[in-house]
Amino acid sequence: MSNTHTVSLAEDCGSFLADGATALEYRHRAIDPYLSFCEKVTLDFSGVRTANSSFMNALVSGLLENHGEVVLKKLVFKGCKPALAVLVESAIELGIRKSGGRITA
């Protein structure tokens, strides 16, 4: 049986993701603790209408800054509309730059 943790951003944070402080608190509470013992952590964006870079950078870029690029092997991005996918990709690129290529998990 696969050891997967899924978070629903629309259910937990709403359909408009705009507050970086909310994203940071959410990441610390609902995502970070699961990265050490889950094979996959799914970020489900189904139902999210829009987001801004402040939220996405705090959520996604912060994961890479704290855990290194290897965290991408554990993360699954589900239900991303095209506009959200662009923000996720930008946050990943920013996180990779900021992490300096660290490989610790």
**Distance separating alpha carbons of residues 50 and 32, to the nearest angstrom:** 23
Confidence of residue 1 (pLDDT cuts 50, 70, 90): very low
Express each pLDDT in 73-96 by its tens digit: 999 999 999 999 999 999 999 999
**Distance separating alpha carbons of residues 33 and 43, to the nearest angstrom:** 14
Contact 8, 44 (CB under 8 A): yes
Contacts of 28 by beta carbon, 8 Å cutoff, 6+ apart = none
Express each pLDDT in 19-33 by its tens digit: 999 999 999 999 999
